[in-house]
Amino acid sequence: MLQVAFIRENKETVIKGLEKRNLSNANELVSKTIAADEDRRAIQTELDAVLAESNKLSKDIGMLFKSGERQKAELLKEKTVQLKEQSKVLTDNLQNKANELQELLYIIPNIPNKIVPNGKGEDDNLTVFEEGEIPTLHEGALPHWELAKKYDIIDFELGNKITGAGFPVYKGKGARLQRALINYFLDKNTAAGYDEVQVPHLVNEASGIATGQLPDKEGQMYHDAQDNLFLIPTAEVPVTNIFRDVILKEDEFPICKTAYTPCFRREAGSYGAHVRGLNRLHQFDKVEIVRVEHPSKSYEALDGMAEHVKGILQELKMPYRILRLCGGDLGFTASLTYDFELFSTAQDRWLEVSSVSNFENFQANRLKLRFKNSNGKSELAHTLNGSSLALPRVLAGLLENCQTPEGIKIPEVLVPYCGFDIIN
């Protein structure tokens, strides 16, 4: 959520930013917001004056009662009736206006960074880096879902029976490989200074609002209506919410957290051939990194996170590329995002395995995550997060890229974690 004061003072910048996201009604949206804010403040001022008057009268009444001047007190009491009426009306107006403003603020996405390329969708993303050799597969190489079946390491049908589509069962070496990847990622992250946390997999409404999943994207989350809790779509939600309503000291920066969690996504409306196998699931594992930074350091931190993810993909010896997302493809809360895509050779396509973003103070504003700056004033912090990494697609790429006629050769760094070097 953008700060109202920021919108008020940077109207043109905000409109331009929203237009970069191809919002057709940017001007209207911003103008409405500024108008609502003005109205809200006008009503607030009016209400404050009435309340001040009413507070003063109440104090006087108290004094009169104390000094035994009942009659005078009763007279004053009558005067308060009218003020009460007024304040009630004004409070209602204020509430309505505040709600109207809040709703507008909720639907305004973050302003893209200057270097975000223009564009409508994924075709307009900018490839900023590419590395790794695409392996030449042997005759009869298979896509990962066939390999999963061949070696009996992932059972999609069994998942269908137990739960439904998109909930695979990992078996034997498949399960072990998955666990190895999780441990490997966590170890890499902690070695880089990220503090490991284990967090709840269900979150309340306030948490969902603070990180921006609610109120508008609730259809993407599984919801337990009985307790009004949501299954997390990413560890970003519980981990970032550690810092909700927190005021940090400046010397606490940088804050670096990592967490492994399963992620649950309804993925409503995305079915078809491209979601086959592990490409898109309702439940998947992910290791996440989250940072809270001083505003002046957040882009440096973003680069650091990207370098870190790069390091992992290099060690796995996977062919990958890094994209800078264009305005049209940028997530609601992000100012700048780098997507990491791993090449899945047997499918001949790129798979997104990580997304690293700087949210600047957009999330912090909803979180009320602040720090005391050098002037002793409260200022919003910057939040960032990234995947390091999303498991299923790494697994998919690994199975496909590392397949040989003898079996699937486990990348060297993973062997100590797996306890085997080939799946056959």
Partner RNA sequence: GGAGAAUUGGCAGAGUGGUCGAAUGCGGCAGUCUUGAAAACUGUUGAGGGUCACACCUCCGGGGGUUCGAAUCCCUCAUUCUCCGCCA
Prior bond to 389 cis, omega within 30?
yes
Give Cα 300 to chain centroid, integer Å.
Answer: 19
The binding track of 245-274 with respect to RNA, each residue x by CB under 7 A or -, is: --x---------------------------
Report in angstroms how near the CB of residue 14 gets to RNA at its nearest.
17
Candidate list 66, 136, 219, 251; residue touching RNA; CB under 7 A: 66
> 266 among the known binding-site residues?
yes
Residue 70 sits in the site that holds RNA (CB under 7 A): no
Sign, CA torsion 34/39/42/48: negative
> 234 among the known binding-site residues?
yes
Span 144-203, contacts to RNA by CB under 7 A = none
Helix (H) or strand (E) segment spanning residue 155: strand 154-155
Nearer to RNA, 171 or 244 (CB): 244
Residue 348 sits in the site that holds RNA (CB under 7 A): no
Report in angstroms how near the CB of residue 51 gets to RNA at its nearest.
4
Residue 59 sits in the site that holds RNA (CB under 7 A): yes
Tokens of 177: 């490989």
Contact segment (CB under 7 A) with RNA among 51-59, 131-139, 255-263, 411-419 equals 51-59
Span 356-395, contacts to RNA by CB under 7 A = 370, 372, 378
Nearer to RNA, 47 or 169 (CB): 47
Tokens of 69: 């001047």
Candidate list 25, 31, 35, 63; residue touching RNA; CB under 7 A: 63
Q: Which residues pair with 408 in a beta bridge?
A: 403, 423
Residue 47 sits in the site that holds RNA (CB under 7 A): yes
Candidate list 62, 193, 200, 311; residue touching RNA; CB under 7 A: 62
Candidate list 44, 118, 183, 220; residue touching RNA; CB under 7 A: 44
Distances (CA, A) of 374 to 23, 114, 254, 371, 379: 37, 27, 16, 10, 10
CB 357 within 8 Å of CB 402: no
Candidate list 57, 141, 275, 413; residue touching RNA; CB under 7 A: 57
> 400 among the known binding-site residues?
no
Closest CA to 411 of 403, 402, 423, 419: 402
Residue 31 sits in the site that holds RNA (CB under 7 A): no
The owner of tokens 């043109």 is 12
Residue 52 sits in the site that holds RNA (CB under 7 A): yes
Give Cα 415 to chain centroid, integer Å.
Answer: 32
Sign, CA torsion 308/313/319/320: negative
Report in angstroms how near the CB of residue 92 gets to RNA at its nearest.
10
Cα atoms found within 13 Å of the Cα of residue 58, Cβ hemisphere only? 9
Helices (H) and strands (E) in the chain, counts: 13, 19
Q: Is residue 131 helix, strand or coil? A: strand
> 360 among the known binding-site residues?
no
CA distance 56 to 325: 57
Tokens of 32: 């409405």
Candidate list 12, 71, 81, 272; residue touching RNA; CB under 7 A: 81
Binding site feature residues for L-serine = 234, 265, 288, 385
Residues in touch with RNA (CB under 7 A): 5, 41, 44-45, 47-49, 51-52, 54-59, 61-63, 65-66, 77, 80-81, 84, 247, 370, 372, 378
Binding site feature residues = 234, 265-267, 288, 352-355, 385
